[in-house]
Amino acid sequence: MAYLLGVVLFALAILVSVSLHEAGHMLTAKKFGMKVSRYFVGFGPTIFSFRRGETEYGLKAIPLGGFCKIVGMTPQDDDVEPGDEHRVMWRYPVWQRTIVMAAGSATHFILAIVALWLAAMFMGLPNKALAGPLPAHVKITDCVVVANESRECLPSDPAGPARQAGLQDDDKITSINGTPVATYTDLVNVVRALPPGQATIGYERDGVSGQVTADLAAVQRTPLENPEGAAVTVSALGVAGPVPPPGVPLMVTYGPIEAIGATAEYTGDMAIGTVQAMQRIPEKIPALWAAITGDQRDRDTPISVVGASRLGGEAVENDAWEIFVLLFISLNFFVGVFNLLPLLPLDGGHIAIAWFERVRSWFFARLGKPDPGRVDYFKLMPVTYVVILVGGAFTLLTVTADVINPITLFSR
């Protein structure tokens, strides 16, 4: 029940943010005097609507977004009523049209930043001290899963070598067969490089050093340097990590003033991460297809609204509200950036065309030539259809992967 509640809550949060996105367009358009004829939440058949002034507001049956209709977004629009010709959007100054079209993304950014500031004060943000490679503090597992699978232990699974050897949660592994181990990554690399069998494990517990002998298990895992490659036989110690050092919090809370700086820093990190994630999308498409056809799902592959809602459900089910909130923040920031890409039918495409027209008019004026006028959107329709087709196919791919082989954060 908690999982379902989380899914519904996250889907509702997405619907609210998309509705506010459209409200950003509507409010700025009205502020400049443009005519907004309709504002609806949802798509499909109308459940109810009412008119206030010149705008019809309402709710539709399919809660997958929303829209607002600004009259005359392009010169080719044919829905302009007599007497409204002077209020069509395309006649307004380019800076006003830019503000109106960017208001949707600005709304997502505002939501993300305000939510971050509140989270920094009341929930905490990820501890920056844990951002880099961590020492090899570990959590001891009850078993090792021999197959290349991510799941809970079953009675048929062999016992974990580390537990059998007497290691405990929060122990810091310092060496394997005399080879120093500085980080958890070092630990994984050294253990996998050894043949299955006995190994001497150096550790530190409560400031006291010790040594045990563990019988490393043989398991199937994909190579670290090629996570999408075929599984090979490697050794496993039966530990999980990296685990923060004892006494070091995962999340750090801030006062109202300190939270401003923490929010700004986290926002900068999100901006870099978002750009990097968008750059990796094309190379992740084969991994998405492989996940649909039976391979293990790569956690670094893109997710759809369906996948994000499922992760939100997992977060609520495991009482990890900080993951729920940070996922909502990251999704809003990503949507805000993505929507500004200079491609039709995205808002960024309309902004790019508006400024192209402005620069072209300026250039022709400098040459003493007549203003070439507005861009003919009909001539751009083939490109727009390609963007819609590619975007639709990608959305279908991610939704299918999220239904058939979803990313999970917790063992369920």
Q: How is the beta sheet containing 197-205 ordered, strand by strand? A: 179-180, 172-176, 197-205, 208-221, 232-236
Copy the structure tokens of residue 37.
């004829």
Q: Do 154 and 182 share a domain, yes or no? A: yes
Is 219 a member of any domain? yes
Give the pLDDT score at 20: 95
Copy the structure tokens of residue 29.
């358009």
Q: Do 234 and 280 share a domain, yes or no? A: no
Residues contacting 105, CB < 8 A, separation 6+: 21, 335, 336, 337, 339, 340, 347, 348
Copy the structure tokens of residue 238.
């039966």
Q: Do 232 and 259 share a domain, yes or no? A: no
State pTM to two decimals.
0.80
H or E element at residue 236:
strand 232-236
Is 154 a member of any domain? yes
Q: Is 124 left (phi over 0), alpha (psi -120 to 50) or beta?
A: left
CATH code of residue 178: 2.30.42.10
Give the pLDDT score at 410: 67
Q: Do 310 and 235 share a domain, yes or no? A: no
Domain count, the chain: 2
Give the pLDDT score at 116: 95
Q: Do 210 and 317 share a domain, yes or no? A: no
Q: Which of 22, 225, 283, 322 is catalytic?
A: 22
Q: Do 319 and 385 share a domain, yes or no? A: yes
Copy the structure tokens of residue 64.
């997958």
Residues contacting 172, CB < 8 A, separation 6+: 135, 136, 137, 138, 203, 204, 205, 245
Q: Do 343 and 363 share a domain, yes or no? A: yes
Question: Whole-angstrom Cα distance, residue 380 to residue 367?
Answer: 26
In sequence order, the β-bridge partners of residue 66 are 41
Torsion of CA 20, 24, 25, 26, to 10 degrees: 90
Among residues 240, 263, 289, the one where a domain terminates is 240
Question: Whole-angstrom Cα distance, residue 303 to residue 407?
Answer: 8
Q: Is 206 left (phi over 0), alpha (psi -120 to 50) or beta?
A: left
Is 22 noted as a catalytic residue in this protein?
yes
Amino acid, res. 378: F
Is 166 a member of any domain? yes
Give the pLDDT score at 85: 83
As averages over each run of 10 residues, the pLDDT of the chain (412 residues) reads 86 92 95 93 90 92 87 82 85 95 96 95 85 83 86 86 92 92 89 92 91 92 75 89 77 92 92 88 86 79 87 86 91 93 92 93 90 87 91 90 83 48
Give the pLDDT score at 412: 45
